[in-house]
Amino acid sequence: MTSIALFNNKGGVGKTTLTYHLAHMFRRLGLRVLAVDLDPQANLTSMCLDESEIEELWEDRTSELIAQGAVPPALPGFSRVRPGQTIADAVKPILEGTGDIAPVEPAALMEELWLLPGSLDLSRFEDKLSMEWSRTFAGDMAAIRTTTAFHRSVAQARESVQADIVLLDVGPNLGAINRAALIAADTVLMPLAADLFSLKGLTNLGPTLRNWRRDWRQLVLPRIPEGFQAPNADMTPLGYVIMQPEMRLDRPVKAYERWLRRIPWVFSAAVLDQQPPSRDDTRHRIATLRNYRSLMPLAHDARKPMFDLKPADGALGSTQQYVQTCFREFRALAEAILSRLEYESRSRSPK
């Protein structure tokens, strides 16, 4: 099993949309996929589930949507979710000081694809994680259980569905929640926009990941008892995916190209710590995805990936050709990621 965290310190680059579509494409390629929503804004959960399901999931049993007749109630035994089965519920006993992580049941979105849902309540875990971080350096087991809660919860969920690959959607910051989420990740995939803000995000992200990895491996792992399930904090950079923006009159193509040319240099220097960094090496660019914003409203209404839209969903004429292009690009991206994962696995294997 390999876990991939999709992360950029800069928000608004399409990270959650990328996570959602990759999860569906990996499934199309024959993998068993677990998507995990570790962003306290729970955007991935809102893409995967409808509002009545989210109300039920978040234990609001008196659904206003159902009461008003806006959506029909689910038939008993046919709902995709059960109340209280989010990542926030998994860590709730630690947060409240009543025990260790609680098992949660991933929601089966469709055959071979599951979601470990998020919750707005997860933001309450931020202060707890922040306070316990320095205590892990002294081998405090309560602090270690707190810091590894995401890793162990995801491992339990993965085991329950026998997932081949796990996608972790995290928020756009370098706070304590994301630190715990990223430490639990085997690899990190970075969606980028070709702009100043994404490049600045890379300059913050690279050194921070290295510091977290060093502190965890040197100060924490040696103090963890044998047999305790703890992450290795690999966080291996897989590469980056450029998400093309919608061109605007106030942002000429030349400005876009200028930032685009700087990405390889910044990625090499900040993320890979290569000195001197490469200015022209694009090996770490996995793909450039065009802007599919015109398909998003249709996909949202149909509650399916953009590349699965049918004429019945409103994807008519030339739009259906655009859907097919979208499918080809996401399939190529998913296959490229799998190739990189295979290469990283071979690189880590003992000779």
Q: pLDDT by residue (tens digit) across 16-39?
A: 999 999 999 999 999 999 999 999
Q: Is the pLDDT of residue 84 over 80?
A: yes
Q: Give the C-alpha separation, 175 to 309, whole Å.
A: 37
My answer on whether omega of the bond before 276 falls inside 30° of 0, hence cis, is: yes
Dihedral pair phi/psi, residue 2, rounded to 5°: -125, 135
CB 242 within 8 Å of CB 287: yes
> Which tokens sit at 196?
């100043």
CATH topology of domain 2-291: Rossmann fold (3.40.50)
Query: Taking residues 234-262, what's their average pLDDT?
Result: 77
Confidence of residue 139 (pLDDT cuts 50, 70, 90): very high
Bridge-based pairing of strands 236-243 and 2-6 is unpaired
Q: Is the pLDDT of residue 346 over 90?
A: no
Which pTM was predicted?
0.90
Q: Where in the chain are the domains?
A: 2-291
Dump strand ranges (E) for 143-268.
Answer: 165-169, 187-192, 236-243
Query: What pLDDT is recorded for position 75?
Result: 46
Confidence of residue 61 (pLDDT cuts 50, 70, 90): very low
Query: What pLDDT is recorded for position 332?
Result: 97
Taking CA atoms, 79 is separated from 53, 83, 275, in Å, by 8, 10, 53
Helices then strands, counting H and E runs in the chain, come out as: 13, 8
Query: What pLDDT is recorded for position 120?
Result: 93
With a CB cutoff of 8 Å and minimum separation 6, the contacts of 263 are: 192, 194, 198, 199, 202, 240, 242, 285
Query: What pLDDT is recorded for position 350?
Result: 58
Strand ranges of the sheet holding 165-169, from the earlier edge strand across to the other edge: 107-110, 113-116, 33-37, 165-169, 2-6, 187-192, 236-243, 285-289
Query: Taking residues 196-219, what's their average pLDDT?
Result: 93
Q: Is the pLDDT of residue 259 over 70?
A: yes
CB 105 within 8 Å of CB 22: no
- What's the whole-number average pLDDT of the chain? 89
